[in-house]
Structure 1
Amino acid sequence: MTLDEKIGQMTQIRHFDEDAEKAITNKLIGSIIHTDGPAPGEDAKAWQGKFTELQKLALSTRLGIPLLFGVDAVHGQNTYNGATIFPHNIGLGATRNAELVEQIAEITAIESQATGFNWVFSPCVAIPYNEKWGRVYEAFAEDVELTANLTKASVQGHQGDLSKSNTVMATAKHYIGDGATDYGIEGGKTSLSELEISEQLMKPYSEAVKAGVGSVMASFNKVSDIPMHAHKRLITDSLKIGMGFDGIMVSDWKGYSKYGENAIIDAGIDMVMAVDGDMDDFHIGIKRGLENDSISIDRINDAVKRILRQKYRLGLFNNPFPDTTLVSKIGIKAHRDVARQAVRESMVLLKNNNQTLPLSKDLKKIVVVGEHADNAGLQSGGWTIAWQGVTENYDGATTILDGFKQQTNTEIIYDETALEQHPDADVAVIVIGETPYAEFFGDIGGEMDRYQLTLTEAHQNYINHYKNQGVKVVVILISGRPLVTTQQIEQSDAFVAAWLPGSEGHGIAEVLFGDYNFKGTLPHSWPKNEEDFEGLFGPNFWDNSIEPLFEYGFGLNY
């Protein structure tokens, strides 16, 4: 291979970047990413068609090396409107069901391939140490053993027999310490020593490597004041040599320009997300690095071997195009049934006074309250259709209110913003929580201070409104992390942590009406008050000086 061909293989660009098609043939690009921005087409068939045309361009080059197509499918193929959207990982952690997690990953692989992708940037295997971190919901749990167990299941489910058309290459991310930064700041400093990191955070990656994970993504944080992208001891010595990882080490967004340019290649990054103007700088910089000996040709050759190895394992040299027969499997009932099972098993019952739950199907009148009750976007969180999520319904989804109406012939009243008087109601089911966010937009400790760790005043008033009418109150909390809800739990007759359930809201009603029992247990300890967040790391892992309201693993049932 020529040097340009090698550097091209190490480059990932967006399909909608200006001159992307020309770059595939002239710059000999190795991978395409789909992310927030213009969709590849109007439907899955068009998405496949777009990627097929780009693949043909790659195959027309001198060596005809096929492209990898990557996507952030973190709870289903969540970039496609109409796909099955599963509970976010925090909810899957609450299920503690590795077999279910593997099945979900298998379905995600099918629906990702159905939209043209052979590589997903999932699972996130972080250990969150602080609820201030904006990505808590992307991780399974605060517990390393549970996270390692579910990581293994997720990798196996995504990858299966990698050469088959219904599987994809998985990515363990973000390596390492992303959830354990001081104050929970996205991309901040991880103060843990390398020994503590090894003992407390490394096992999920070890399990992922044992399971044959095809790629690992570097994280935005620093360890020992070194950006993880440029941390050679942890990337090359610990991961590649120590664990025997032989897959692709991929950068995160604009990793080349953000974290030391050629230093990240020398540290062990094999493929670079060369987006937002990074591509030319990367190509020029790496050639200069070879000229001045800051990068060795052996390091370049190693990176390219790793990329080609995974393309061979995926069977792309024999079958580079997506399977058109998979399009009909997107969002099918069998997939949604699994997602609904995940919703049912993820819910955690924190309070149930006087057997308020399960609700009788013979009640005369139920009031369902709150905008989250009838909005699939709000119930699904970030990384749903768009990067930051959406605040409206999307194709194929069932809202929580839909589920209530399907579950009983009882009179169901929807009082969206708690303005009505219904003192004769048997119960008010109040659905409240966070609005969607992703990454640093949900980062309490960073510059983007948009979110709080308590309920809003408006949502508190929803509860007050019905308590003042003397109506029994059941609270369903929709959130990507435990919130400080001590007062609201005290006020309620029953309180349910439903996390971010995804597209199948009906699963919530099935449990509340007693068709199924509660199975979920807390994947994170539950904070008691806001003062718990004043320290570096918050209440929920290794700072034993803080007493939580509910311990890790707590959960009631009928």
Structure 2
Amino acid sequence: MRTEIREDLQIERKVEALLAKMTLKEKIGQMTQVRHFDDIDDEDVARKHIGSIIHTQGPTPGHNAAEWQARFRELQEIALSTRMGIPLLFGVDAIHGQNTYEGATIFPHNIGLGATGNARLVEKAAAITAKEAQATGFNWVFSPCVAIPYNEKWGRVYEAFSESTALTTKLTRASVTGHQGILSDKGTVMATVKHFIGDGSTEYGVEGGETSLTPKHVEERLLPPYEEAVKSGVGSVMTSFNTLDGIPMHANKAMITDLLKQTLKFDGIVVSDWKGYSKYGQNDIINAGVDMVMAVDGDLQEFHQVLNQGISSGEVPMERIDDAVRRILRQKFRLGLFENPFPDSDLIASIGCDSHREVARQAVRESLVLLKNKANLLPLDKKIKRIVVVGEHADNSGLQSGGWTINWQGSTENYQGASTIIDGIREAAYGEVVYDVAGVDKHPDADVAIICVGEKPYAEFFGDVGHEESDCQLTLTREHKNYISHYVAQGIPTVVVLMSGRPLVVTEELEMADAFIAAWLPGSEGRGVADVLFGDYNFTGKLPHSWPESEVDYENKYGPNFWQKKPEPLFPIGFGLEYQKS
């Protein structure tokens, strides 16, 4: 008998033995995920038999990684003190590195990793994320996002790898493998593929909107990354805010139970998204197949009370409760939490270490896509006498990293441990580097202007173009357009570096600039941009999305390159120039 089969059988026996001893209160507790602040007092972990703790925007567990670990150790000890002694899962939105911890290695967002097309690199990035997540006390991450974005108006485009199903599927496998490794090892975590299913393909790119696709289209275009994730042994799947055929995905039994669990044979945890219980029909989501509920922002009491009532009335079968708890226990055994429930303090030294940052810097280099290079202006000669660097994005690691960086909505300030684009330029260039942050100076003697423009950070619906709480747009701001035109008007050779979480309509700016680079959201290693600007490395990145020519391209439900009224993109998916080899 193979070792894997024998271990699986041993785990199943342990799960069944434990499940048989549990009370209903203990079972419902295991199905509960809460924050370590606001939702509970510490003793509620034992009183309510809580199964999982999530860390999100709000008070941090401490001032440094040792304090984070100590805080989670305290909570774990409370869980272990209960009659059943079942350890906690600690979850975190580690979207592009352990991005909730200042000083961690922050990778380019998935859209940039999609531009690399490098599965081995994605696997390395995921493994580093797992190690730094464990170093701060977590054993579960809510990544990767495996959506297939259909409209750049969606505020989460940057969380997904590509509009290509094939590329997304390849990188999903790499990400799951990198995060989970040998799942019981101290430096790995349980991964989560999300959001099941159709989150990136809602009409007009609305977060939580309607996905009006045929079952055939869902199966062919959206399902393959999930199929690959299940084959790769992913431990968790998160349900989506969108509706499919008018049915909220959280309550879609045909998709969660019939398709995901039965047809695809997924045996891990289906977890709700934020406040999914109160938003989408309470016990409807349990009967649909959701196993663990984010009982946050006031949902805890409602969840426990209404689920108990549903079980008493027969609305929710005990078989469904046992299935949910069985899946949760199974993953806790697979993670080795019953034997090793506490984080390893030896991992703390790995957070933001040089070797991790070098992998992130490589990811930056390989993510850059060269869209234009008139008269071979690039690569720049390091001996250029005078370089003007323009714009606030040039010297701001918060702006260059996007949402889900230190804070949920990102930051507009520099954060610990990061390097900026101008840091890299200053290190690479032998001549004078002048910084014009406001883009208004006159530099008639400048040899080249490197103009850094882009979006401000955003996350989730705050990034939806057209949402009432969003100021996002599909074009550059007037101020950033002026940065470019101001230097073009001076006759200075101009390189534009665009930092954005999605392709923007920059047709006019592309015409004006001598060279134009899509840099996506590079993360903490801004020096990687200069590595390629000055020719130490060639451009290898290719567009993971087709690039729009006009805002008119988005007047229909979906953007360029899809089956409805297909507008021709300015650049097709897969486009990307390289330096000419002499």
TM-score over 0.5 (shorter chain): yes
Q: Percent identity?
A: 66
> Paired residue for 1:508?
529
C-alpha deviations, 1:335-372, integer Å up to 9, x for none? Answer: 00000000000000000000100000111100000000
Task: State whether structure 2 residue 123 is matched by structure 1 residue 102.
Answer: yes
How big is the shift at 1:18? 4.8
> Paired residue for 1:538?
559
Structure 2 gap segments, 5+ residues each: 1-21
> Paired residue for 2:413?
392
**Counterpart of 2:171 in structure 1: which amino acid?**
L
**1:237-386 paired onto structure 2 within 5 Å:** 237-386=258-407
**Counterpart of 1:329 in structure 2: which amino acid?**
S
**Counterpart of 2:137 in structure 1: which amino acid?**
G
* Aligned-partner Cα distance in 1 for 2:220–2:364: 32
C-alpha deviations, 1:267-308, integer Å up to 9, x for none? Answer: 000000000110110001111111222110000000000000
Task: State whether structure 2 residue 86 is matched by structure 1 residue 61.
Answer: no
**1:434-473 paired onto structure 2 within 5 Å:** 434-473=455-494
* Aligned-partner Cα distance in 2 for 1:18–1:102: 34
**Counterpart of 1:459 in structure 2: which amino acid?**
H
**Mean Cα deviation higher: 24-33 or 418-427:** 418-427
> Paired residue for 2:497?
476
Q: Name the SS of the counterpart of 1:179 in structure 2.
A: helix
> Paired residue for 1:38?
59
Query: 4+ residue runs of structure 1 moved beyond 3 angstroms?
Result: 540-544
How big is the shift at 1:544? 5.7
**Counterpart of 2:534 in structure 1: which amino acid?**
F
> Paired residue for 1:163?
184
How big is the shift at 1:413? 0.2
Which of 140, 145, 148 in structure 2 is aligned with 1:124? Answer: 145
CA RMSD across the alignment = 0.7
Which of 53, 59, 70 in structure 1 is aligned with 2:91? Answer: 70
Change (3 A) 1:94 1:511: same
**Counterpart of 1:432 in structure 2: which amino acid?**
V
Which of 420, 425, 429 in structure 1 is aligned with 2:446? Answer: 425
Q: Name the SS of the counterpart of 1:32 in structure 2.
A: strand
> Paired residue for 2:244?
223
Task: State whether structure 2 residue 72 is matched by structure 1 residue 48.
Answer: no
Q: Name the SS of the counterpart of 1:398 in structure 2.
A: coil
Q: Name the SS of the counterpart of 1:517 in structure 2.
A: coil
How big is the shift at 1:448? 2.5
> Paired residue for 1:550?
571
> Paired residue for 2:114?
93
C-alpha deviations, 1:240-275, integer Å up to 9, x for none? Answer: 001010000000000000001000000000000000
How big is the shift at 1:447? 3.1
How big is the shift at 1:177? 0.1
> Paired residue for 1:201?
222
* Aligned-partner Cα distance in 1 for 2:313–2:281: 16
Aligned partners of 2:39 and 2:300 also within 8 Å? no
C-alpha deviations, 1:81-129, integer Å up to 9, x for none? Answer: 0000000000000000000000000000000000000000000000000
How big is the shift at 1:22? 2.1
TM-score for the superposition, normalised by structure 1: 0.99
Aligned partners of 1:130 and 1:540 also within 8 Å? no
> Paired residue for 2:15?
none
How big is the shift at 1:420? 1.0
> Paired residue for 1:172?
193
Q: Name the SS of the counterpart of 1:239 in structure 2.
A: helix
Aligned partners of 1:186 and 1:446 also within 8 Å? no
Change (3 A) 1:544 1:357: farther
Aligned partners of 1:474 and 1:492 also within 8 Å? yes
How big is the shift at 1:456? 0.3
* Aligned-partner Cα distance in 2 for 1:542–1:102: 32
**Counterpart of 1:187 in structure 2: which amino acid?**
G
* Aligned-partner Cα distance in 1 for 2:413–2:281: 40
Aligned partners of 2:34 and 2:40 also within 8 Å? no
* Aligned-partner Cα distance in 2 for 1:543–1:477: 29
**Counterpart of 1:202 in structure 2: which amino acid?**
L
* Aligned-partner Cα distance in 1 for 2:478–2:96: 30
C-alpha deviations, 1:489-513, integer Å up to 9, x for none? Answer: 0000000000000000000001000
* Aligned-partner Cα distance in 2 for 1:64–1:98: 39
TM-score for the superposition, normalised by structure 2: 0.95
* Aligned-partner Cα distance in 2 for 1:78–1:447: 27
How big is the shift at 1:195? 2.3
**Counterpart of 1:89 in structure 2: which amino acid?**
N
**Counterpart of 1:493 in structure 2: which amino acid?**
D
* Aligned-partner Cα distance in 2 for 1:541–1:414: 42
Task: State whether structure 2 residue 243 is matched by structure 1 residue 214.
Answer: no
Which of 160, 173, 179 in structure 2 is aligned with 1:152? Answer: 173
Aligned partners of 2:361 and 2:528 also within 8 Å? yes
Say how many residue pairs are matched.
558
**Counterpart of 1:165 in structure 2: which amino acid?**
K
